[in-house]
Amino acid sequence: MIRMDCDILVVGAGILGLSSAYHLKKLNPDKEVLTIDRVGGPGQGNSAKSEGGYRNLFSSDVNYLLAESTIEFMHYLDDELGYDFRMDQIGYLFLYSEEQLDAQKAALEKIERRGSEVRILEKRDLKEMIPELATDFKDDDETGLLSLEPVDCGVFGANCGSVDADALVRAYEAEYLRLGGDILYNVEAESLMLEPEMELGISGEPFVWQGVKIGGVRTSRGDIKAGKTVVAAGVWSERLLKPVGIDPYMRPKKRQIFTFRNTSLSRLFNVNGFNSQGVIPLTILPKASILFRPELSEGSIWLACADDYGRSFGLEDDPQAEEGYYTDNIYHVLVKYFSCFEGVRPANMWAGQYAVNSFDGQPVITGFEGMIYVGAASGSGIMKCDALGRIVAAKYEGRDEVELFGERTFTVSDLGIEKRKVESESLII
């Protein structure tokens, strides 16, 4: 049994937990910062199951700030500190119909005004650069049935790409340990300790007339008391928060990754005009929220589908990928746009759980006496990790503003609930 005290206890050694722990320890070198996780290594919940995409193309200023500063910090970690989490700046390519492009006009103007590198490609150019891509389906019965969107253009963002999410988590872990932070693996957080702010020593505390605070965490290996508890347990946060009546604001939803290695896909690794690697960018189809990217380290394609409705919210401990989800749902659409997928079956597949924020799609960083909670919606964990870790650390210090990497100022309460200030995002996948 462990019986210990610490100044700051971080629950969850995924990307958000370790980024938070790193920045907390960095700002508070004299404080004892302890991170716990129920499994045996970092990022083994959902972080490492991610598609690993990153992008700075967002209509919302909040999304842009959080992602752009994180991307810059990842470059710094990768280039200056010598970590290798394979930042492949292959770009993001949104394939759009005319109508879809029109809907993004205001967003694209905003993105250009920011100075982000973005190009609008005409159909002609796209066909030349990606000969595999089918753009029109007029005379085909089956595509009528699928009611496919034509590809009239592409929106290409250059400062986007992919990272090895697992290696990124390990980089934060290494930096955190280097600063003297502690981690205990195989320790499961079972419940938050809700305590009276002023203990009276009467049985039954806390009563409703008492001020309450979170005093630490009951774990599978004993109680850990903490001056501040940071809940960064991803979709598992609700198991800790719900029993004390705090909403995690994130709903767990299964998401699957399918990978492919067939030789017919080699053409996707020989595409010029987008990036220095000469490969197809991370590409988003104009239909059914299907996206794929080349994984350069293994010469494979990683594919996902961001389906919206029809799948239950709910926590699963060991979600499994379903091959039928690919063959019955994704394949028919995919192969119409990219015939090189004809007859190709997944070489590998896995499933994780996204955290879906169903009211505005953005991360939440909020607090309660003795506690800070950080939750990030779909994809935000990886691509906004550094900014979110810094905001958690600033909230711990009670500061109103925080400087993100690259000297960008951010108002901490913008991601809270009471004074929340986020715009809705139009460039969604």
Residues that bind a copy of itself (CB under 8 A): 145-147, 194, 198, 200, 204, 206-209, 211-212, 242-247, 249, 251, 253, 287-289, 305, 307-314, 328-330, 332-333, 356, 358-360, 368, 417-418, 420, 424
| C-beta closer to a copy of itself: residue 42 or 215 | 215
Q: Cβ 305 to a copy of itself, closest distance in Å? A: 6
Q: Is the dihedral of CA 187, 192, 196, 202 positive or negative?
A: negative
| C-beta closer to a copy of itself: residue 29 or 243 | 243
Q: Cβ 296 to a copy of itself, closest distance in Å? A: 28
Q: Cβ 207 to a copy of itself, closest distance in Å? A: 5
- List the one residue out of 392, 426, 417 whose CA is nearest residue 66: 392
Q: Cβ 275 to a copy of itself, closest distance in Å? A: 29
Phi, psi of 295, deg, nearest 5: -105, 105
**How far apart (Å, rounded) are the C-alpha atoms in residues 299 and 263?**
10
Contact indicator for 113, 425 with CB cutoff of 8 Å: no
**How far apart (Å, rounded) are the C-alpha atoms in residues 197 and 77?**
41
| C-beta closer to a copy of itself: residue 49 or 251 | 251
Structure tokens at 305: 């589908």
- Residue 259's DSSP bridge partners are 302, 348
Contact indicator for 275, 90 with CB cutoff of 8 Å: yes
Q: Cβ 344 to a copy of itself, closest distance in Å? A: 18
CA–CA distance from 387 to each of 25, 36, 150, 187, 238 (Å)?
15, 21, 37, 27, 23
Q: Cβ 353 to a copy of itself, closest distance in Å? A: 13
In 10 A of CB 39, how many CB atoms? 14
Q: Cβ 380 to a copy of itself, closest distance in Å? A: 17
| C-beta closer to a copy of itself: residue 1 or 208 | 208
Going by the DSSP 8-state scheme, the letter that residue 325 receives in this structure is: I
| C-beta closer to a copy of itself: residue 30 or 209 | 209
| C-beta closer to a copy of itself: residue 41 or 206 | 206
Q: Cβ 84 to a copy of itself, closest distance in Å? A: 35
| C-beta closer to a copy of itself: residue 56 or 135 | 135
Q: Helix, strand, or coil here: 305?
A: strand
**How far apart (Å, rounded) are the C-alpha atoms in residues 1 and 136?**
65
| C-beta closer to a copy of itself: residue 22 or 236 | 236
Contact indicator for 23, 8 with CB cutoff of 8 Å: no
**How far apart (Å, rounded) are the C-alpha atoms in residues 241 and 355?**
15
